[in-house]
């Protein structure tokens, strides 16, 4: 073999392959770099937008509804924490949540629902959310957690609880399952009690957990508590007495209102029948009516003090004038006015105590009808009281161009017009305030309004003094008298109007104030359609007035103004105790 043949061959470099490989690497790197530059520099917003769409969410804070309390801080409405059980049907299916049917049986049992219906509600639902049950207790919620059914979850909410129950149900009102006020003060002051939730922008992970708080979208407003002028001690006392009287007299309904005379605040507003706001099943619409402001009745003799006050104030009569009512009836154009018996000639005070229709008619006919109607309006008849509650009725005080004498006469003894129990209580509150009219308030006042004078103090005091005779011997409401306090008031008994005239049903009323020499409380009691032989204001409404007023004065520590008869007899004379 030649030396040349034995020479080793050396590999030669293939330049074009290397160049192609390097080119491809550089090309890929360039593409990646260009794409990254494009995304990061030229068009970064699209990816940010897509990421934000997956992770950014707006959340709101839970806002508990404010409390409703009486003037002394006793709770009337409060929100308690509960939970809502719900399902995500997709998560249930994806997590094989239907495999263990025993868990669904336990869930249906604790929720008190039919198992088959519960399963079908979730299984047949194509959405992502379905309520299983609202407002479950914390104990039930904890049991549901322990079942660990995939896709079954809980979220917090609140339920309204009313500690006073039926005692103040129509006034306080109720909320629906979504915590929106739908009746009473809950409805009127919904925005005040609720406030508004704050809104936040947050970032959530795929499990729905908040991983970052980004910003505040909207500042929220804290809910406010509502402090009523109501005194639950008096409210409970009034409701109990009213309920007993309604049952005893087999009445259709009854209402009672107490007003604090110096301030115009409503201390009590009770109605029967009532309802339990904590148990909604079986509630009838008529039970929810706040009859003290929605139902108006012909007030009968309860308005006679206004006729006397108007006649005195306008100088038509004086306190010591007398009026002849013989022979017990009086013919007027359009009809005849009658008294229960012939009272003969009596002074103004006696005619008011004896409730003479003829005496009131003679005084009213000496006034222009517009003057009397304006006087009624000044005392709140036919107008709103000032409490600004939904459903309040103004009553009906007719306003027509032509009046017969008989129509003018009936206005004087409480027929031909209607008034609510609240309006009647305001009439006597104005008299007790010396002729000063203040708007009524269902909220506790921080400052007492000055009010408007609608009657001279002298005349108001004179009428109040006359009304004290109603509860004394010879008056029509002996059962309204209270030991230790002088009571001024007036009974009323009116027949209920029906189509074409008046029917056989009655409304019995008593309105008054106490103590008469230094008035503190004004009260109106209305009992609608009592059954049985007793249907007069002096025997049906007056005893309720006495019971509630006596208890109220004691609870408010109002000092007695007269010496109790038993104590006076014990010492031998009215002046024995100083």
Express each pLDDT in 286-322 by its tens digit: 999 999 999 999 999 999 999 999 999 999 999 999 9
Q: Is the pLDDT of residue 211 over 90?
A: no
Among 304, 291, 537, 555, CA closest to 428: 304
d(CA 165, CA 283): 13
Could you write out the three-class secondary structure of 111-143? HCCCHHHHHHHHHCCCCCCEEEEEEECHHHHHH
Asked if 354 and 343 touch (Cβ cutoff 8 Å), the reply is: yes
Instruction: Report d(CA 513, CA 488) in Å as an integer.
Output: 5
Percentages helix, strand, coil for the chain, rounded to the nearest 5? 40, 25, 40
Over the chain, what is the mean pLDDT? 88
Looking at the chain, the whole-number percentage of residues with pLDDT higher than 90 is 70
Taking the domain 66-194, which CATH number applies?
3.90.1310.10
pLDDT digits (tens, 9 = 90+) for 412-443: 999 999 999 999 999 999 999 999 999 999 99
Which residues are CB-neighbours of 444 under 8 A, at least 6 positions away? 71, 227, 228, 229, 265
**In sequence order, which residues have a C-beta less than 8 Å from that of residue 373 and are 6 or more positions away?**
382, 397, 399, 411
Q: Where do the structural domains in the chain lie, given as residue ranges?
A: 66-194, 232-571
Supply the pLDDT for residue 572. Answer: 43
Q: Which CATH number fits domain 232-571: 3.40.710.10, 3.40.50.10540, 1.10.600.10, 3.30.365.10?
A: 3.40.710.10
Per the listing, tokens 């707006």 go with 58
* Residues known to be catalytic: 301
List, for residues 519-528, the tens digit of each pLDDT value.
999 999 999 9
What CA–CA distance (Å, rounded) separates 349 from 461? Answer: 12
Residue 5 has pLDDT above 80, yes or no: no
Structure confidence at residue 575 (pLDDT) = 38
Peptide bond into 449 cis (omega under 30): no
Q: What is the pLDDT of residue 7?
A: 54
Query: What pLDDT, on the 0 to 100 scale, is given for residue 569?
Result: 47
Rounded to whole angstroms, the Cα distance separating 61 from 446 reads 32
pLDDT-derived band at 513, boundaries 50, 70, 90? very high
Look up residue 33 and give its two tokens. 């770099």
Confidence at 34, pLDDT banded by 50, 70, 90: confident
Cβ neighbors of 501 (< 8 A, separation 6 or more) are: none
């Amino acid at each position: 073999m030649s030396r040349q043949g034995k020479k080793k061959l050396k590999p030669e470099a293939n330049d074009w392959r290397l160049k192609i490989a390097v080119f491809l690497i550089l090309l890929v790197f360039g593409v990646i770099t260009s794409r990254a530059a494009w995304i990061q520099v030229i068009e970064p917003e699209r990816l940010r937008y897509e990421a934000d769409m997956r992770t950014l969410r707006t959340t709101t804070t839970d806002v508990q509804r404010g409390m409703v309390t009486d003037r002394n801080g006793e709770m009337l409405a409060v929100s308690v924490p509960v939970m809502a059980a719900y399902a995500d049907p997709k998560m249930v299916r994806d997590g094989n949540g239907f495999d263990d049917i025993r868990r669904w049986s336990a869930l249906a049992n604790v929720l008190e629902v039919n198992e088959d219906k519960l399963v079908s509600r979730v299984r047949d639902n194509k959405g992502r959310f379905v309520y299983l049950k609202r407002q479950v207790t914390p104990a039930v919620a904890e049991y549901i957690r322990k079942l660990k059914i995939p896709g079954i979850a809980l979220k917090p909410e609140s339920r309204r609880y009313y500690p006073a129950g039926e005692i103040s149900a129509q006034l306080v009102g109720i909320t629906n399952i979504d915590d929106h006020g739908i009746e009473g003060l809950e409805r009127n002051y919904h925005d005040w009690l609720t406030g508004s939730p704050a809104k936040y922008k947050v970032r959530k992970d795929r499990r729905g957990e908040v991983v970052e708080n980004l910003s505040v979208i909207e500042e929220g407003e804290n809910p406010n508590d509502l402090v009523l002028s109501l005194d639950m001690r008096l409210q409970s006392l009034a409701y109990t007495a009213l309920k007993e009287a309604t049952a005893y007299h087999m009445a259709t309904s009854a209402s009672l209102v107490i007003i604090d005379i110096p301030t115009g605040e409503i201390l009590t507003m009770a109605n029967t029948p009532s309802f339990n706001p904590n148990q909604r099943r079986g509630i009838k619409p008529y039970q929810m009516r706040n009859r003290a402001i929605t139902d108006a009745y012909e007030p009968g003799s309860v308005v006679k003090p206004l006729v006397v006050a108007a006649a005195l104030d306008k100088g038509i009569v004086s306190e010591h004038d007398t009026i002849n009512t013989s022979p017990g009836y009086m013919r007027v154009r359009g009809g005849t006015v009658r008294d229960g018996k012939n009272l003969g000639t009596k002074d103004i005070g006696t005619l008011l105590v004896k409730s003479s229709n003829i005496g009131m008619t003679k005084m009213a006919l000496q006034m222009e009808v517009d003057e009397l109607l304006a006087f009624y309006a000044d005392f709140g008849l036919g107008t709103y009281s000032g409490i600004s509650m939904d459903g309040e009725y103004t009553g009906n005080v007719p306003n027509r161009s032509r009046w017969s004498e008989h129509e003018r006469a009936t206005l004087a003894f409480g027929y031909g017009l209607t008034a609510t129990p609240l309006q009647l209580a305001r009439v006597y509150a104005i008299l007790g305030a010396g002729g000063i009219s203040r708007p009524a308030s269902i909220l506790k006042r921080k400052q007492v309004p000055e009010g408007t004078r609608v009657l001279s103090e002298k005349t108001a005091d004179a009428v109040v003094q006359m009304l004290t005779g109603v509860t004394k011997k010879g008056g029509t409401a002996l059962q309204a008298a209270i030991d230790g306090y002088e009571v001024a008031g007036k009974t009323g008994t009116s027949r209920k109007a029906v189509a074409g005239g008046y029917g056989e049903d009655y409304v019995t009323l008593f309105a008054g104030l106490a103590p008469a020499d230094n008035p503190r409380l004004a009260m109106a009691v209305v009992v609608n359609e009592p059954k049985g032989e007793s249907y007069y204001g002096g025997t049906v409404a007056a005893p309720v007035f006495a019971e509630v007023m006596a208890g109220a004065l004691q609870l408010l520590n109002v000092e007695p103004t007269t010496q109790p008869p038993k104590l006076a007899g014990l010492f031998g004379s009215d002046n024995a105790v100083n």
